[in-house]
Structure 1
Amino acid sequence: MSAIPPSLGRLLSGLCKGCGRHREAYNRTQSRTLTTVFSGIQPTGSLHLGNYFGAVNLWKSLQNDPANHLIISVVDMHAITVPWKPEQLRQNIVQSFIELLACGIDPAKVVLFQQSSVPEHGKLQWIFSCLSSMARVDNLPQFKEKSAVQKEVSCGLFTYPVLQAADILLYKAHLVPVGEDQVQHLQLAQDIARIFNSKCGKLFPTPHRLHSDLPRLKSLRDPTKKMSKSDTDSRSLIQLTDSPGQIREKLKKSVTDFKSEITYDLAERPAIANLLMLYRAVLDVSLEKVLEETSKINKVELKARLAEAVIELLRPVHGKMKELRNDMGYLEQVMAQGTDRARTLASQTMDEVESLAGFRPAKAKISTTVHRQLNSSPTDKESKTLRSS
């Protein structure tokens, strides 16, 4: 296992200045090793700018630090917890790989794979389901929110947080980048890891949330909601596949307010604040720099400048997506290699799980690799924030 990444080490060092308790925590990490970061994305439509700035940029930062072991899964099994069309799902899976590669995810640095191509996910979910109470799963808010808008609720929608736990623990992940809406699901994974370790034998490290200061973009039509692929109003988000004309039109139609000047006030002017945060993310500059640049223009000009900046940002992405669509052989090779790498890791974990759970003859001891991982898990305080560089 490799040493703690310099990016996290520098951050922890900065947090620890002048604080003895935190200094001790930082010193402890110097003799530890950083383990796996796991993340997943559903193939339910094209990625949007919220995904790009909130997830993809974080993944690129993680992959470019050689101390990290990053695993990204296109979680297609999660995509069928709501009504779906098989042909559309097939297209969405391929499109997800195209977009991730076009955005700069490097399959040589990342284990990038399709979830359903690794059957161990489903096997581990079944074992975890037998360790989880219905009351515990029923208490999760995501199920209540999603089931409220469906006529018929599937068992899959009810149990998908257990599948998420299997996704994470199958690779013995220590860090998981999740938003506020997924924190309780990560807590379920922590509980399941604890229950399995207690009942069957120590195997899984406790996964912790990886916080990020990367921007969380809001809907262009309702700034109280996050930008989401599930939004039925296509004008609410800018997708990576949008044409320049569509980008200009969506930003032109984005909601604002009745004041003419450009100011940043998240509480009183959330719509303008959202556009300014998007502008900041696209230009990769400070908010102060954006406010200085926009201090003498009106909202119409702000939207126009922002549109051109987004178009320029996505120009190389569009070019790379076109290139990948014309080279399906390469894309299939990337997907196959990702599956092989993921299955190698997953099968090792399942061998250990099945032995400890009683399905296979007991092994004398768990591998020393597992013990190293258990002993190297960073605490919540030691993994609070990872800043993009």
Structure 2
Amino acid sequence: MYKSTLKHALRKSSTVATVNSLSNFEAGSRIFSLIQPTGAVHLGNYLGALKNWKDILKNVPEGTECLFGTADLHSLTQTPKAETLHENRYGAIAAIIASGVDPKKCTLFHQSSVPEHAELYWIFTCITSIGALNRMTQWKLKLLVSDASDIFDEKVMGQTKAGVLQYPVLQAADILIYNATHVPVGEDQSQHLELTRSIAQTFNHTYGKYFTLPRTILTPTKKILALRNPAKKMSKSDADQSSSIYLNDDAATIARKFKKAVTDSIQGPVTFDPETRPGVANIVSIISAIQDKSVEETVSDLSWVQNHKQLKDYVTEVVVEEFKDKSDLYNRLINDKAYIDEICSNGKEQAREIASKNLLEVKQLVGLA
């Protein structure tokens, strides 16, 4: 049920598209974000999403609602085996909680447990052009085709599953079914948020003003790159698993992976130059994100470092300390599935209370109720 403060926040949020802070939210804001349950959570997932969720919960004023969880419907675009997806959903919730996201301070749930997401998705599909989806870049990255590729090209069309192309429409439904005021995302997802606002505007113009235009919270963490190949993002699917640090890696494993991390042939002081020193810049980004400092502050703090071994030893120490308690908690949680089920059951009820009310009002506007 909407509070008057929430209605005020919804009206106010439509005036600004992007926020560069994880604090300073208006009372009555509604913050929403999901992660895909596609396997163990790595350092990039943690710094790009989960740590930000934890920090948001520390800063929100009373009366602000936060909804977090798993985008398990989205993960179907990768056609995982049923038993794998089932286990990954538990792993994702365990990782979210282990990262410091308190389920007592937010609504934590699985996307698929709220059927209103899928119903609003179909309504939005009917007002979204193929041309708008064709301009998105993420589906091209998933297919490993060039940015200039076109869905109308016969070869590209033949290899593109509809779910991959329409992924951003479901993402829009995920956000707008709650009339979220803020959505924390990395830069690679900002284009999808622009499409979300466009879909909301199209609906409002076609059926009557209903949806707020959610603001993008650009997370402060720079993209975390693969340790063994800093030309690409850290990924769970990387064939070289030494490229990724996982939340449940032990200290020895973390040290071994950083020891193998690619740097460069330049010795001496640490500098941050993603173009000419991507490996070193990636390590600086990791330290910067964990310590909540700017890149400039981090480089200054590392003035004592004179070689790559010192830098790798230091980042190992920082990450091991950051993950130590989280890894232990994750291992306990993943073995207590009844607790995770209880958390998600409560979260589902809370999420559906909002979603079902909003969907009914949308259906009335459309003529379906």
Q: TM-score, normalised by structure 1?
A: 0.80
Q: 3-state SS of the aligned residue for 1:324?
A: helix
1:37 aligned partner: 31
1:255 aligned partner: 262
2:41 aligned partner: 47
TM-superposed deviation, 1:2 = 8.4
Q: Percent of aligned positions with the same letter in both sequences?
A: 39
TM-superposed deviation, 1:184 = 1.9
Match of 2:57 among 44, 58, 63: 63
Matched, 1:180 2:176: no
Q: TM-score, normalised by structure 2?
A: 0.84
- Residues 81-109 of structure 1: CA deviation (Å, up to 9, x unaligned): 12311111111110000011111111111
| CA RMSD, 1 decimal | 2.4
1:220 aligned partner: 227
Q: Structure 1, unaligned stretches of length 5 or more?
A: 5-21, 23-29, 361-389
- Residues 335-361 of structure 1: CA deviation (Å, up to 9, x unaligned): 11011111111101111011111011x
Shift in CA distance, 348/3, structure 1 to aligned 2, threshold 3 Å: closer
1:245 aligned partner: 252
Shift in CA distance, 296/115, structure 1 to aligned 2, threshold 3 Å: closer
1:274 aligned partner: 282
Match of 1:235 among 239, 242, 254: 242
Q: 3-state SS of the aligned residue for 1:55?
A: helix
Match of 1:95 among 75, 91, 105: 91
2:132 aligned partner: 136
Matched, 1:316 2:325: yes
- Residues 245-268 of structure 1: CA deviation (Å, up to 9, x unaligned): 221111011001112223213143
Give me the whole-angstrom Cα distance separating, in 2, the residues matched to 1:189 and 1:283: 32
TM-superposed deviation, 1:285 = 5.1
2:339 aligned partner: 330
Contact 1:128 1:162 in 2 (8 A): yes
TM-superposed deviation, 1:222 = 2.6
Q: 3-state SS of the aligned residue for 2:218?
A: coil
Segment drifting more, 85-94 vs 152-161: 152-161
Contact 1:70 1:110 in 2 (8 A): yes
2:353 aligned partner: 344
Give me the whole-angstrom Cα distance separating, in 2, the residues matched to 1:200 and 1:107: 36
Matched, 1:298 2:307: yes
Contact 2:69 2:93 in 1 (8 A): no
TM-superposed deviation, 1:301 = 2.6
2:160 aligned partner: 153
Contact 2:248 2:331 in 1 (8 A): no
Opposite residue 66 of structure 1, the aligned amino acid is: P
Q: Structure 2, unaligned stretches of length 5 or more?
A: 7-15, 17-23, 146-155
Larger radius of gyration: 1
Shift in CA distance, 196/289, structure 1 to aligned 2, threshold 3 Å: closer
1:192 aligned partner: 199
Give me the whole-angstrom Cα distance separating, in 2, the residues matched to 1:2 and 1:273: 46
Q: 3-state SS of the aligned residue for 1:350?
A: helix
Match of 1:113 among 97, 109, 118: 109
Opposite residue 341 of structure 1, the aligned amino acid is: Q
Contact 1:279 1:290 in 2 (8 A): no
Segment drifting more, 146-155 vs 45-54: 146-155
- Residues 57-82 of structure 1: CA deviation (Å, up to 9, x unaligned): 22112112234321113000000112
Q: What is the count of residue pairs matched by the alignment?
A: 335
Shift in CA distance, 279/210, structure 1 to aligned 2, threshold 3 Å: closer
TM-superposed deviation, 1:226 = 3.0
Contact 2:187 2:218 in 1 (8 A): no
